[in-house]
Amino acid sequence: MQPDFTTHIQTILADIEAAGLTKRERQITGPQGGRIALAGGRQLVNLCANNYLGLADHPEIIEAASDALQRYGFGMASVRFICGTLDLHRELEQAVARYLGKDDAILFAACFDANGGLFETLLDAEDAIISDSLNHASIIDGVRLSKAKRYRFVTSDMDDLETQLKQAVSDGVRFKLIVTDGVFSMDGHIANLPEICALAERYGAMVAVDDCHATGHLGPQGRGTPALTGVGNRVDIVTGTLGKTLGGAMGGFIAASQPIIDLLRQRARPYLFSNALAPSVAAGSLKAIAIAEAADDRREKLMRHTRKFRAGLIDAGFELLAGETPIIPVMLGEAKLAQDLAAELDKRGLYVAGFFFPVVPKGKARIRTQMSAALEDADIDFAIGAFTEAGKQLGII
């Protein structure tokens, strides 16, 4: 490497560090769960995994995955269209489609890839994508890869969405696709899908929802935000992940009408040029969907924790973002305060993560807590107590 390039990179790293924005990865030494083990044997109560239903270490999922490992081996060593399609992959795609009420589905290595392949494949320069300003990074990148005209509306602002739709109409575009997260991952609020779908109807647009933070735990049987808000039939495309509620391994998908899925199978670049999902992941995810669909008890526990933890933090005097999902952001402002609070909570046995720029806007640093059905009632009391003590110590409350 050129010496001045190395210096250039080191300068950027030093700037990140000086701004208090360095992200440090913590090593855990056992399974994901309500408690996690650290090297040296310390255990922490865990408030920051996307393990909403607590399925990441579910014994039946582990068994299904390990059976598939024995039967099909470790890996596929091929993309799907060469020799990488197992009966298991098609079973999983059909299970996803049935679960979400769509004709068919297509698997990707991650939802990041699903969103990366969606827009470029379906839309062209004559078309328009109208995207919520808080959409996930993978949507932003996916939109960038397509030639379609781009319109952005202020998050969840339906007047602005209408303005953008009118603009697209007056620009004479051919097809319009509105895209939104179902649940916004950093803020925890749910998209206004009924109004989005009504506007889509009025202006002749299609609707795509990225439901990564909802599939499996929100809505009836966990069918996500379209089902929760009663617009399951109007939403044209759902993208989602196998890496959160549905067992938490990895993998993403798009569910939609048959022609859309058929074209994605022909053209989506992250599908065509990337390896097929490992058999154990496909089998475990299939089992996870079956468990999630029937897991009203886990969903009830998750929402009970959500209500209790929200109320407890508000009573203690913390500033939260309003919402009703299991994502509960505690707003702190500066990155350093979020890091200090996370460190104080760690000392008290609670694992949380501070989020700051570039993951959230500057000055909007926060600790994003997430509830899980893997937590017990006593863990929620413990967590409220730890936040209250640490918050007082740092003068936040």
- Cβ atoms of 32 and 51 within 8 Å: the answer is yes
The smaller minimum CB distance to ligand PLP, of residues 138 and 229, is found at: 138
Binding part of the chain for ligand PLP, among 107-115, 158-166, 171-179, 227-235 by CB under 6 A, reads 107-115
- Cβ atoms of 80 and 274 within 8 Å: the answer is no
The smaller minimum CB distance to ligand PLP, of residues 115 and 372, is found at: 115
- Cβ atoms of 148 and 123 within 8 Å: the answer is yes
The smaller minimum CB distance to ligand PLP, of residues 132 and 340, is found at: 132
Under the binding rule (CB under 6 A), the answer on residue 282 touching ligand PLP is: no
x-or-dash string of contact with ligand PLP, 136-175, rule CB under 6 A: x-x-------------------------------------
> What does the alpha-carbon distance between residue 90 and residue 15 come to, in Å, rounded to a whole number?
48
Under the binding rule (CB under 6 A), the answer on residue 370 touching ligand PLP is: no
Under the binding rule (CB under 6 A), the answer on residue 116 touching ligand PLP is: no
> What does the alpha-carbon distance between residue 293 and residue 243 come to, in Å, rounded to a whole number?
16
- Cβ atoms of 334 and 322 within 8 Å: the answer is no
Q: Closest approach of Cβ 150 to ligand PLP, in Å?
A: 18
Active site residue 146: no
* Chain centre to alpha carbon of residue 350: 22
Closest alpha carbon to 396 in 375, 374, 365, 369: 365
Q: Closest approach of Cβ 108 to ligand PLP, in Å?
A: 8
Q: Closest approach of Cβ 61 to ligand PLP, in Å?
A: 17
Closest alpha carbon to 217 in 112, 294, 321: 294
**Please, which residues bridge with residue 252 across strands?**
108, 241
Binding part of the chain for ligand PLP, among 77-85, 105-113, 321-329, 343-351 by CB under 6 A, reads 105-113
- Cβ atoms of 328 and 320 within 8 Å: the answer is yes
Closest alpha carbon to 155 in 119, 191, 129: 191
Active site residue 189: no
> What does the alpha-carbon distance between residue 58 and residue 31 come to, in Å, rounded to a whole number?
10
Please give the helix or strand (H or E) that residue 173 lies within, else none: none
Q: Closest approach of Cβ 158 to ligand PLP, in Å?
A: 20
Q: Which residue has the tokens 């939104």?
A: 180
- Cβ atoms of 192 and 199 within 8 Å: the answer is no
Name residues contacting ligand PLP, limited to 185-224 (CB under 6 A). 185, 210, 212-213
Closest alpha carbon to 122 in 239, 231, 251, 252: 239
Active site residue 185: yes
The smaller minimum CB distance to ligand PLP, of residues 110 and 278, is found at: 110
The smaller minimum CB distance to ligand PLP, of residues 76 and 327, is found at: 327
Query: Tokens standing for 355?
Result: 């989020």
> What does the alpha-carbon distance between residue 108 and residue 272 come to, in Å, rounded to a whole number?
10
Q: How many CA atoms lie within 13 A of 106 on its CB side?
A: 26
The smaller minimum CB distance to ligand PLP, of residues 211 and 340, is found at: 211
x-or-dash string of contact with ligand PLP, 289-328, rule CB under 6 A: ----------------------------------------
Q: Closest approach of Cβ 213 to ligand PLP, in Å?
A: 5
x-or-dash string of contact with ligand PLP, 63-102, rule CB under 6 A: ----------------------------------------
- Cβ atoms of 372 and 54 within 8 Å: the answer is yes
Query: Tokens standing for 25?
Result: 């990865």
Q: Closest approach of Cβ 167 to ligand PLP, in Å?
A: 25
The smaller minimum CB distance to ligand PLP, of residues 177 and 212, is found at: 212
Report the interface residues with ligand PLP, using CB under 6 A: 110-112, 115, 136, 138, 181, 185, 210, 212-213, 241, 243, 252
Active-site residue set? 185, 213, 244
